[in-house]
Amino acid sequence: MDPINNSIKLVEGTYSPINSADVLLSLIADKIKFHNLQILSSKDKNHPQVMHAEMRIAELKASRDFVTKLILQARDQGLHMKIDGIINIEMFKQN
């Protein structure tokens, strides 16, 4: 079976810095929460899935810090932010 690809627009629009913060930081926080739950539910803390989740949390925290800086910069300069978030979904059989 060939992979099936789909895309959805998760976020699209122009936002004030405060609304941008609500959208972007909420998405990042939800992903961090998801990975924390994966870690908590694992009995083997050395499992590759746990190690991957810990790595993703660190990456997401760095992204959160970067996004926060962008939001503060936009606020300080009186700018709005255009956000375009597309999620690509591929369905396939795993061997």
For 44-90, how does the pLDDT look when each residue is reduced to its tens digit (9 = 90+)? 778 888 999 999 999 999 999 999 999 999 999 999 999 999 999 99
Q: Which helix (H) or strand (E) holds 81?
A: strand 81-91
Q: Is the pTM of this model over 0.85?
A: yes
| Token pair belonging to 54 | 């810990």
* pLDDT confidence of residue 48: 85
Domains in the chain, number? 1
How many other CB atoms are there within 10 angstroms of residue 35's CB atom?
20
Q: Which residues pair with 89 in a beta bridge?
A: 6
What is the distance between the alpha carbons of residues 68 and 18, in angstroms, rounded to a whole number? 10
* Domain housing 70: 4-91
Q: Are 25 and 68 in contact (CB under 8 A)?
A: yes
* pLDDT confidence of residue 2: 76
* pLDDT confidence of residue 1: 64
The pLDDT tens digits for 23-45 are: 999 999 999 999 999 999 887 77
* pLDDT confidence of residue 20: 98
